[in-house]
Amino acid sequence: MTTATATEVQNNFGRYLKLVQNGHEIVITKNGSEVARLISKEKAVSFLSDSLVGVLSSDADEKKARAERSARYENTH
């Protein structure tokens, strides 16, 4: 994990983006406090799915939920 100030990230965005693309996580600070993190899309998806474990009831039907989401999406577009 790399830590950088908001100004450093702003001035060297390409460098930090390349680090993220190579699997690094960037912690961004402002006035000494952590304000954000840059992580890859893959890590973000993994983080979100890991955080949802246990949220759904054990009797939830994943296929039914996916079909309902698809139907809602199709109805809005």
Whether the predicted pLDDT of 45 surpasses 60: yes
Residue 24 pLDDT: 93
Chain centre to alpha carbon of residue 19: 16
Q: What is the structure's pLDDT at 59?
A: 62
Q: Residue holding tokens 């998806």?
A: 45
Under DSSP, is residue 58 helix (H, G, I), strand (E, B) or coil?
coil
10: in domain: yes
Q: What is the number of domains present in the chain? A: 1
- Whether 5 is in a domain gets the answer yes
In 6-61, where does DSSP find H-type helix? 6-11, 13-21, 41-52
pLDDT at 56 over 80: no
| Residue 20: inside a domain | yes
Residue found by looking up tokens 């199709």 in the block: 74
In tens, the pLDDT along 6-44 reads 999 999 999 999 999 999 999 999 999 999 999 988 877
The answer to whether the pTM exceeds 0.85 is: no
